Amino acid sequence: MYKKIIVFEGVDGTGKSYHINQVAKFLKSKKIKFIKFREPGGSSNSEIIRKIILKNNSSLSKESDLLLYLAARKENYDKLIKPNLKKKIILIDRFVDSTIAYQHYGQKINLKLINNLNNFVLKGLTISHTFLLKIDKKNLKKRLKRKNKNRYDSFDIKFYTSVQNGYIKLLKKNFTKYTLINSNLPKNINEKLVLSKISKIIKK
């Protein structure tokens, strides 16, 4: 019943962390066991890798970046995902789709290579459901300004538009496994939508 992997995706500033936290509260109130982590980050080794990737003035190449995201993911697979797979709901703030959206659609790294690396690390793991949070250009500009600066926050709006369009392509390929959330709408409206979908997913 509870063997689900639920992922939250979307460009920076769309409110993924807010919704994943609300879902965590909801599951807690229902006494449903879950774990929750973010990428990059998660396991203790992955959090160390996160610091290297997101350092303000990091001079890493985009290829080194890609390999670090995957190294962090491998640590999460071994230390967090595999041991909990049959036991708990797994909530993840960014996962495989972030790498395809940012490193392929944003940074133009070969898609086949990214897919191969993800398959190598995750061994055919299936994601039960993805919430994709989308935002229009005007709001994206506003929210990016508000956010703390990390290296991806210094990219321009064109970059984020390509990333977001990439996410939409992934959704269109497999739309039954996605819920599109319009982050231009008020949080409380979206929260109801997310929690009602979560209720259905956990009953399956």
Q: Which residues bind ligand TYD (CB under 6 A)?
A: 12, 16-17, 38-40, 54, 69, 94, 98-99, 102-103, 150, 152
Nearer to ligand TYD, 103 or 179 (CB): 103
Q: Vertex 15, ends 190 and 34: CA angle to 5°? A: 80
Shortest CB 174 distance to ligand TYD, Å: 18
- For residues 129 and 179, the answer to whether their CB atoms sit within 8 Å is yes
- Strands 5-10 vs 129-134: parallel, antiparallel or unpaired: parallel
Shortest CB 145 distance to ligand TYD, Å: 14
At residue 166, what is the residue type? G
Cβ atoms within 10 A of the Cβ of 33, count? 11
Q: Give the integer Cα–Cα distance in Å for 7 and 122.
A: 15
Shortest CB 31 distance to ligand TYD, Å: 28
Nearer to ligand TYD, 37 or 102 (CB): 102
Nearer to ligand TYD, 41 or 202 (CB): 41
Shortest CB 114 distance to ligand TYD, Å: 9
